[in-house]
Amino acid sequence: MDASGMNPATAQAFEMMMRDKQMKDFMALYQGLVARCFNDCCNDFTSKALSSKEETCVQTCSDKFLKMSERVGLRFSEQVRHSLVFCGSHELSY
């Protein structure tokens, strides 16, 4: 959906709402990444510094999490495209 058919005030409100939603989605993704990798990797609390094993684990965990998130996003966009094509061809067949 885009704001091209809206009056300027509505378009501006729509764009602000979309930016807010994108920021919330990003923060939820970041929070999930931090929580998951911390819980999986950080288990020695005798020092404030991460051990080399913990650092490697956090790096691997975050790489996997980001790749998974990217793949889910790509798959979702593929599904949306497929749905739009299907709906468009379905409407034309009537």
Q: Into how many domains does the chain fold?
A: 1
pLDDT at 94: 46
CATH of the domain at 68: 1.10.287.810
Q: Which domain holds residue 66?
A: 8-92
Token pair 């709906």 is at which residue?
87
In a domain, 22, yes or no: yes
Query: Tens digit of pLDDT for each residue in 55-79?
Result: 999 999 999 999 998 999 899 889 8
Q: Which two tokens stand for residue 5?
A: 């058919």
Query: Tens digit of pLDDT for each residue in 28-57?
Result: 989 999 999 999 999 999 999 999 999 999
Alpha-carbon separation of residue 30 from 24, 33, 39, 71 (angstroms): 10, 5, 14, 16
The count of other CB atoms within 10 Å of the CB of residue 19 is 10
In a domain, 1, yes or no: no
In a domain, 2, yes or no: no
In a domain, 3, yes or no: no
Of 62, 13, 72, the residue nearest 34 (C-alpha): 62
Chain centroid to CA 92: 33
In a domain, 57, yes or no: yes
In a domain, 82, yes or no: yes
Token pair 């468009």 is at which residue?
88
4 pLDDT band (50/70/90 cuts)? low
